[in-house]
Amino acid sequence: MEDNETIKTIKARRAIRDYDTEKNVPDEVLYKIIEAGTYAPSAENQQPWRIIIVRDKELQEFIGQIAVDRTIQLFGRATPRQELERRLSYIKSKVSLERTIEILITGRRFEYIKGKKETFGAPVLLVLAVDQTHVGNSQATLRGTGGVYGWSSPRHAVIAGSMMMQNMALAAASLGLGSCVSSVQLDHFDDVGAISERLGIPYPHWVPILCLTIGYPKYERTLGPPRQPPEEIAFVNKWGNPYKPKGVRK
Ligand SMILES: Cc1cc2nc3c(=O)[nH]c(=O)nc-3n(C[C@H](O)[C@H](O)[C@H](O)COP(=O)(O)O)c2cc1C
C-alpha cells in the first residue's frame, strides 16, 4: 500500500535546527499552524493548553541560553563521549559524527532557539503551557466544574498538550516550514520557574512543558534518525508476542 499525503508528511517531518533568518513567518501562516494545534484531541475536550508566541529576540535569547546551559550540563558532563558515539552510531560519516558530538557537548545545537541570525535561529518560538489545576479551568464551558465527569488528571493535560504540539509540527511541515520540539530548557524546575516568571505564565497552575521553534529551513533535511519498524515495537495480545504482519510491502 502506498503512503498517502498525510503519511508522507508525517514521515518527511524532521527536527529543524537551522533556519533561514531572512524569511519571517507571516501571521496568517502561524495562525494556521496554531489553529491546527487546537484540533488535537483532549480529555473531555478540555483543551488544557495555552501558547505564548515569542518573536521578541531578547526573550528568545533568554530561553535559548537556558537551553544551551542545560545542554552543556546534561550532555557535556553527564554523558560520556563513548556513550554519545554509541547512540549516534547510525551516522555513517565520521565528519558528521564529530560535528554532532561537538554541538551536543558544547550546547551549540541549541543556539537555534535564540533566534539570532548568526546561529540560524528560528523567527518564532512557541512556548506551550498546560493546565495543572485539576479542575478544568482551561475551557470556558467547563470552567470550575471539574470537567464534565467531575475529574480530570493533570497528566491528561500533558498528554493533550503533546498531541497539540505534534499537530502543529505536522501542520508546519505540510506548509513547507521547519520546526523543532524542544524540552531541554524546561527540564529543570528552576528553569521552568524562571521562564514562567519572564513570560508571565501563572505557574504552577499553568506549567510550560514544551517549546516549538518555527521557521523556514536553512537546509533541506530529509534524513532523520532511524525508526524502529512496527514488528520491533508492537506485540500481539501480550507483551513479548511477536507481531508478524502479512502482505506488507515496504
Ligand atoms: C518531548 C520532546 C523533547 C525534545 N527535546 C528536544 C530538545 O530539547 N532539543 C532539541 O533540539 N530537540 C528536541 N527534540 C527533538 C528530537 O530530538 C527529535 O524529534 C528526534 O531526534 C527525532 O528526529 P526527527 O524529529 O528529525 O525525526 C525533542 C522531541 C520531543 C518529542
The ranges assigned to domains in the chain are 5-217+226-233
C-alpha separations of 13 from 26, 90, 97 in Å: 20, 19, 22
For residue 114, what is the DSSP state? G
For 5-217+226-233, CATH gives 3.40.109.10
Distance CA 159, CA 209 (A): 11
- With a cut of 60, say whether residue 229 has pLDDT above it: yes
- With a cut of 70, say whether residue 80 has pLDDT above it: yes
Nearest alpha carbon to residue 135 among 51, 42, 205: 205
Q: What is the pLDDT of residue 159?
A: 94
- pTM as predicted: 0.90
Percentage of residues of the chain with pLDDT beyond 70: 92
Q: What is the mean pLDDT of residues 25-52?
A: 94
Distance CA 186, CA 176 (A): 27
Percentage of residues of the chain with pLDDT beyond 90: 64
Q: Give one DSSP letter per residue of 120-179, joined into a string.
A: T--SEEEEEEEE-SSS--SSGGGTTTT-TTS---HHHHHHHHHHHHHHHHHHHHHTT-EE
Distance from the alpha carbon of residue 179 to the mean position of ligand 1, in angstroms: 10
Sorting pLDDT into bands at 50, 70 and 90, what band is 150? very low
- With a cut of 70, say whether residue 1 has pLDDT above it: yes
Q: What is the mean pLDDT of residues 167-193?
A: 96
Q: What is the pLDDT of residue 133?
A: 79
Q: Whose CA is nearest to atom 20 of ligand 1?
A: 15
- With a cut of 70, say whether residue 149 has pLDDT above it: no
Distance from the alpha carbon of residue 151 to the mean position of ligand 1, in angstroms: 31
Instruction: From the CA of 166, give the closest atom in ligand 1.
Output: 31
- With a cut of 50, say whether residue 148 has pLDDT above it: no
In short, whether 68's Cβ falls inside 6 Å of ligand 1 is: no
Q: What is the mean pLDDT of residues 49-53?
A: 96
Beta bridge partners of 7: none
pLDDT in tens, 184-205: 999 999 999 999 999 999 999 8
In short, whether 225's Cβ falls inside 6 Å of ligand 1 is: yes
Sorting pLDDT into bands at 50, 70 and 90, what band is 139? low
Q: Whose CA is nearest to atom 11 of ligand 1?
A: 182
Higher-pLDDT residue of 107, 191: 191
Q: What is the pLDDT of residue 174?
A: 97
- Mean pLDDT, all residues of the chain: 89
Q: What is the mean pLDDT of residues 215-223?
A: 87
Instruction: From the CA of 16, give the closest atom in ligand 1.
Output: 26
Q: Whose CA is nearest to atom 30 of ligand 1?
A: 181
